[in-house]
Chain A
Amino acid sequence: MNWISRVRNSLPFLPKRETPDNLWIKCPKCHEMLFQQDYEDNWRVCQHCEHHGRLGADRRLQLLLDDGFSMLPQPEVREDPLKFRDSKKYVDRLKAARAANPHRDAFSVGSGNIDNRPAVVGVQDFHFMGGSMGMAVGQAFCAGAQEALDRGCAYIVVTAAGGARMQEGILSLMQMPKATVMTRRLKSAGLPYIVVLTDPTTGGVTASYAMLGDVHIAEPDALIGFAGQRVIQDTIRESLPEGFQRAEYLHKHGMVDMVVHRNRLRETLATVLDYLQPAKAA
């Protein structure tokens, strides 16, 4: 509930209006009120401060791929072999996440074209359990890579995750080498693998497939790093530098090739793809 509806609902003398309560949203960065529809139409970029909000998998695929792309089926994986529970059972957390999301897990793959250039696009969706990397994410990542290998085209992966999915313990950790097997296969096949780093990309995701791209493109101000800021602060016991672990900071330190505004992302990818034509098998 945003503040307008909160105030409105607490005023007893105002008749309740029949409007959806998500008509307006507040920009998380500049706190300006934004008309929800405008915000969505602008791909969740704030019109006032250019803050890049988190984009769901379906919208991201729409943003990048030409109309008529196809979705790869969500792969089936072993579910909760650890029988993990903290304050809640992992299977219940999964159920809740599935009820609140259009997809079965945090990684979706679309196969189609980017401005008429063949491409497979994998998208990690932060809205599904923080985008965390578990077996389903790893398997979907690999399925996307395999689709690119089969089509002989580029693989583009949009990352967003807090890191590994702790509820899958060691099995989530093993997704790091698993995904890397596939990035290596793309490389041997002479196919481009491009990573688009979005807010946030941290932990085991950064330390595997997010940092193995032929080209790294980051969205403005995206948090990108290996260790969490609180952990680092506890280690060094001093404040962190300005802009630490933000896209621009990574660019400055040579970890990403460019920082690109969302409204130029598709054309940038198209340009990159023009230069990275799949190599003819030697």
Chain B
Amino acid sequence: MIAYLEFEKPVAQLEARIAELRLAAEGDDVDISGELSRLEKKSASLLASTYAALTPWQKTQVARHPSRPHFRDFVEHAFEEFVPLGGDRLYGEDEAILGGFASLGGRRVMLIGHEKGHDTQSRIRHNFGMGKPEGYRKAIRLMELAGRFGLPVVTLVDTSGAFPGVEAEERGQAEAIARSTEACLALPVPMVATIVGEGGSGGAVALASAERVVMFEHAVYSVISPEGCASILWRTAEKAPDAAEAMKVTAQQLLQLKIIDRIVQEPKGGAHRDPVEAAQSLGRIIGEELDALSGKTSAELRQQREERYLQIGTL
């Protein structure tokens, strides 16, 4: 049973009605299949039209949906193999950022990404996907390893932001993020970054400074959370929907601004309605992107990456 979002209420009512009918029809002779199929059609088209017209704020909610597929789901349904690697060799192991060797359609890659967790226990263990310095330093270590052994790097970005805490500051959160961004830019191998849920600020950029950036249809990517932006500029977090609108956080807007290169379609009604299909679509597109980069030299890859960022803002 998936949780419905506020704007999905009409869909929820229809789906509840369908479920009721089904239950009532059990063991009954009355043929309601006509009514059922009419309702199902109506519900499907309502879901499709709702999701075709999501506002930036609604997309933010979809991107944060509790049932949205995360790192482990993508690993399970898009990759044939995953060999997790742990630790930054300096301080500890941060489970908010996972990484390791992975195989995608026979291609060997280094896979790194945020994991938010799927229930209370795992969310706490993964710190809700908010990385600490040791997480970013692990990412750096894995990127450098990938570079030395010619493994392309694939990242799955899904974080509300890097962890804002006392210890994180003490251990150099800012430095870790800066160095992780630097490590992306230095890679001599192809790098494909995917924004799969929330791309939150520096904590996202640290794993997304790639030459190719793809984004799920209903994912969001922004400099600050809509709530954070609203509380600073509007002086109340309640203006988050306005802030989301003003900041241009959706995949469609970011494609237009040339911040991302490609949008990955989600299953109807969002990735959370069919995590397996979502993961397979993502895997297919990552594969295509990797293949397109595979013939390039290190110098060409770095140049493509550098030019991408240097031209942002220029006339």
Contact = CB atoms under 8 A, between A and B. Distances in A.
Interface in A97-113: none
Interface string B226-252: 001100111000000011001111000
Interface string B148-177: 000000000000001111101111111101
Contact of B247 (A82, A135, A176): A82
Given A77-B314, A206-B174, A231-B164, A176 B181 contact: yes
A11 to B, nearest CB: 35
A192 B254 CA distance: 35
A221 to B, nearest CB: 16
A86 B185 CA distance: 34
A240 B223 CA distance: 25
B182 interface: yes
A207 B206 CA distance: 9
Given A84-B246, A86-B234, A236-B166, A212 B182 contact: yes
The residue in B166, B223, B242 that gathers the most chain A C-beta atoms within 10 A of its C-beta is B223
Interface string A78-98: 100110111100000000000
Contacts of A84: 246-247
A184 B182 contact: yes
Interface size class of A (residues with CB under 8 A): 35 or more
B182 A85 contact: no
A124 interface: no
B221 interface: yes
A232 B202 contact: no
A4 interface: no
Contacts of A35: none
Contacts of A142: 310
A181 interface: yes
A261 interface: no
Interface size class of B (residues with CB under 8 A): 35 or more
Nearest to A75: B314
Q: Give the secondary structure class of A's interface.
A: helix
A173 B223 contact: yes
A232 B174 contact: no
A58 B277 CA distance: 57
Interface in B169-202: 169-175, 177-179, 181-182, 184-186, 201-202
A139 to B, nearest CB: 6
A280 B235 CA distance: 53
Interface stretch (A63-71, A163-171, A262-270): A163-171
A175 B171 CA distance: 24
Contact of A225 (B169, B185, B306, B314): B169
A173 B179 contact: no
B259 A175 contact: no
Contacts of A209: 178
Nearest to A208: B178
Contacts of A180: 178, 181-182, 185, 209, 309
Contacts of A176: 178, 181, 202, 205, 209
A172 B246 CA distance: 14
B295 interface: no
Contacts of A235: 163-165
B171 A253 contact: yes
A183 B309 CA distance: 13
A226 B202 contact: yes
A171 B224 CA distance: 12
A207 to B, nearest CB: 4
B169 A232 contact: yes
28 contacts: A76-B315, A84-B246, A85-B246, A86-B243, A138-B313, A166-B229, A166-B247, A169-B247, A171-B259, A173-B222, A174-B309, A176-B202, A177-B309, A180-B309, A181-B309, A184-B185, A207-B181, A211-B175, A211-B178, A225-B169, A226-B169, A228-B164, A232-B165, A244-B166, A254-B172, A255-B172, A255-B174, A255-B175
Interface of B: 162-166, 168-175, 177-179, 181-182, 184-186, 201-202, 205-206, 209, 221-224, 228-229, 232-234, 242-243, 246-249, 254, 257, 259, 306, 309-310, 312-315
Smallest CB-CB A-B distances: 6 pairs: A135-B313, A227-B164, A206-B174, A226-B174, A86-B233, A177-B209
